[in-house]
Amino acid sequence: MIQLFDLSKKFGPNVALNDIRLRIRQGEFVFVTGPSGAGKTTLLRLIFGAEKPASGYILINAINLNRISRPKLDLLRRKIGFVFQDFKLLPKKTVSENVAIALEVIGLRPKFIRKKTHQTLRLVGLADKEKAYPLSLSGGEQQRVAIARAIVKDPLILLADEPTGNLDPQLTMEIMELFKSIHRKGTTVVVATHSQELLQGTDCRTIVLNHGKISEDTL
Amino acid sequence: MRSYFVRQALINIRKNLSVHILSLGTIVASLLILGLFLLLFGNLNNWLQRWGSALSMSIYLKDGISEYRRDKVDSFIRGLPGAEIKRFISKEEALKDLRAALGDDAGFLSRLERNPLPASYEVVFGSKGTYGVNPEKIKGELEKLDGVEEVQYSKEWLKKLEGFLDVVRLIGFIIGGLLCLCVVFIVTNTIKLTLYSRKDEIEILKLVGATDWFVKSPFLLEGMIQGTIGGILAVLTLFLGYLILPTHISLLGLAPLDFVFLPAGYLILILILGTVLGVIGSFIAIGRFFEV
């Protein structure tokens, strides 16, 4: 479960998030939307522990991120998958190596890592690109590598920052189906997007951010 | 996971090979200088001990000493514990030795009206009997004997040599310390370069939940490998140099001295030092790099 209490975040004089109170239950599928600069990415980064709040608290499965030690944050991150908006892929590593990194840090056996990486790449439709380097891939393919790295460890929470930003409608639907299948296994999925097409007709909970505040929550 | 660390460390070295070769060269040079100091100091110490353990004494006799008095001096010397008369040098032999030593410049000796050189005994105290021998006391007793003009012994200049050795030791410590700092500085900067070249990867590793030690270990290993290879190459270079250079040295007209190589303990010390300095260098480099 993700709980945010009176959460605020500032970057210098700019207020990115202001007095956010939010509860996302385990196994929920949530969209966070709003215009650019509304604070979507900041919100995800705070949940991930990549930013520290100016005030307020963040609890992840009852763990207070404000008081978490560095080693415990590392362990917590192994249970959270993050799809970064800029993918954060390593250009000098192959697609397979980029995905395998998420399992290597856990210290799993190389044989299992190879098998699981292959399975996940097949799931995102990149089984034939295992040996390719990220820069030789299209934007959509790079995005799928980033998604594969986030889901390869079967995370409890999946945070995705504009995961369909570079994808065509067909691929967007495929990725969303992928997220839904992960969600069906019990993973909490939080997708930050400004794409209205993605939200049309969805029955998932949608949180709208505006100027760092929650202006709407369809809970 | 250990194989992952080794693989990563080797990848780091391969990807920054030119930087690593340069830094390795400097580490080898630093450890080599350190090794040379140890070699020099060790040998000086050995020689000093050898000379020190063989106390030698020159006993000069008065001109015109009677046979009876000379026998008295002779038997007194033979009665000293550990003493061995290496040679009795008569006045004539002394002049002959001087003439031989001066070579072409010995012409003026023929113009001398009389031989001014005294007869003398060259006495050596064997190594077994040296400890416990008080040369100053023996000198005093000998000079009291009728017919003895003067007594000189080798310890006087050995004391000066010991003082010199203390200075060498001090210089060795200072230079050795500076060289160690130099190695640490080089390794730190090399590892920093690797860290900067892998900054993105480190950030991603941290974001996917790598512990600090998981990220740091390959870099520590990298410094350790560099230091160890530096140590091995320094020892090998030192040994090659030793093989090439002459091992018998004739110094100050004394008996030839053996120039011995460093004992195994010192070699291990250089290797350990290289490894430890490599680890310290990388430890400093990775110190504050992981706040993601």
Q: Does B210 touch chain A if contact means CB atoms closer than 8 Å?
A: yes
Q: Is residue B146 part of a domain?
A: no
Nearest to A77 among B1, B207, B212 (CB): B207
User: B105-122: per-residue pLDDT in tens?
Assistant: 777 877 787 888 899 998
Nearest to B204 among A74, A75, A88 (CB): A88
pLDDT in the model for residue B114: 83
Q: Is residue B169 part of a domain?
A: yes
Name the DSSP letter for residue A198.
H
The residue-averaged pLDDT of B259-280 equals 89
Buried b (16+ CB within 10 A) or exposed e, B260-280: ebbeeebbebbbebbbbbbbb
pLDDT in the model for residue A60: 94
pLDDT band at B280 (very low <50, low <70, confident <90, very high): very high
Q: How far apart are CA A69 and CA A65, in angstroms?
A: 8
Token pair recorded at residue B145: 């004997």
CA angle A5, A6, A7 (to 5 degrees): 90
Q: Is residue B148 part of a domain?
A: no
Q: How far apart are CA B258 and CA B46, in angstroms?
A: 9
Q: Is residue B145 part of a domain?
A: no
Q: Are A106 and A153 in contact (CB under 8 A)?
A: yes
Given an 8 Å threshold on Cβ–Cβ distance, is A74 in contact with B203? no
Nearest to A105 among B3, B203, B210 (CB): B210
Given an 8 Å threshold on Cβ–Cβ distance, is B211 in contact with A88? no
Token pair recorded at residue A115: 């098998």
pLDDT band at B65 (very low <50, low <70, confident <90, very high): confident
Same domain flag for B216 and B179: yes
Q: Is residue B257 part of a domain?
A: yes
Same domain flag for B37 and B72: no
Q: Does B209 touch chain A if contact means CB atoms closer than 8 Å?
A: yes
CA-based nearest distance A18→chain B, Å: 23
Same domain flag for B41 and B178: yes
For residue B14, what are the domain limits?
2-51+159-291
Given an 8 Å threshold on Cβ–Cβ distance, is A149 in contact with B208? yes
Same domain flag for B42 and B60: no
Q: Which of B251, B254, B256 is nearest to B56 (CA)?
A: B254
Parallel, antiparallel, or unpaired: how do β-strands B83-89 and B120-125 relate?
A: antiparallel
Q: How far apart are CA B249 and CA B262, in angstroms?
A: 16
ipTM score of complex: 0.85
Same domain flag for B128 and B238: no
Q: Does B54 touch chain A if contact means CB atoms closer than 8 Å?
A: no
Same domain flag for B206 and B279: yes
Query: Which residues of chain B lie closer than 8 angstroms to A74, CB-CB?
Result: 206, 209-212
Q: Is residue B153 part of a domain?
A: no
Same domain flag for B15 and B70: no
The residue-averaged pLDDT of A22-50 equals 93
User: A112-132: per-residue pLDDT in tens?
Assistant: 999 999 999 998 889 999 999
Q: Is residue B249 part of a domain?
A: yes
Query: Which residues of chain A lie closer than 8 angstroms to B207, CB-CB?
Result: 48, 50, 77, 82, 84, 88
Q: Which of B92, B115, B132 is the last residue of a domain?
A: B132
Same domain flag for B106 and B241: no
**A→B interface, C-beta within 8 Å:** 48, 50, 70-71, 74-80, 82, 84, 88, 90, 93, 101-102, 104-107, 110, 149, 153
Q: Which of B132, B151, B183 is the last residue of a domain?
A: B132
Nearest to B209 among A77, A88, A90 (CB): A77
The answer for residues whose C-beta is within 8 angstroms of residue A35's C-beta and 6 or more apart is A194, A210
User: B207-248: per-residue pLDDT in tens?
Assistant: 888 988 888 888 899 889 989 999 999 999 999 988 887 766
Same domain flag for B115 and B94: yes
Given an 8 Å threshold on Cβ–Cβ distance, is B211 in contact with A78? no
Q: How far apart are CA A170 and CA B118, in angstroms?
A: 116
User: B11-62: per-residue pLDDT in tens?
Assistant: 878 877 888 888 888 889 888 988 888 888 888 777 776 666 667 788 999 9
Q: Is residue B282 part of a domain?
A: yes
Q: Which of A90, A72, A141 is nearest to B203 (CA)?
A: A90
Same domain flag for B73 and B213: no
Same domain flag for B38 and B77: no
Nearest to A105 among B3, B200, B209 (CB): B209
When divided into structural domains, chain B yields a total of 2
Q: Are A156 and A1 in contact (CB under 8 A)?
A: no
Q: pTM higher than 0.80, yes or no? A: no
Ranges A39-48, A195-204, B90-99, B150-159: which has the least confidence: B150-159
What DSSP letter does each residue of chain B carry, written as one string? -HHHHHHHHHHHHHHTHHHHHHHHHHHHHHHHHHHHHHHHHHHHHHHHHHHHHSEEEEEEEPTT--HHHHHHHHHHHHTSTTEEEEEEE-HHHHHHHHHHHHGGGGGGGGG-SS--PPPEEEEEE-HHHHTT--HHHHHHHHHHSTTEEEEEETHHHHHHHHHHHHHHHHHHHHHHHHHHHHHHHHHHHHHHHHHHHTHHHHHHHHHTT--HHHHHHHHHHHHHHHHHHHHHHHHHHHHHHHHHS-SEE--TTSS-EE-PPPPHHHHHHHHHHHHHHHHHHHHHHHTT----
Same domain flag for B35 and B80: no
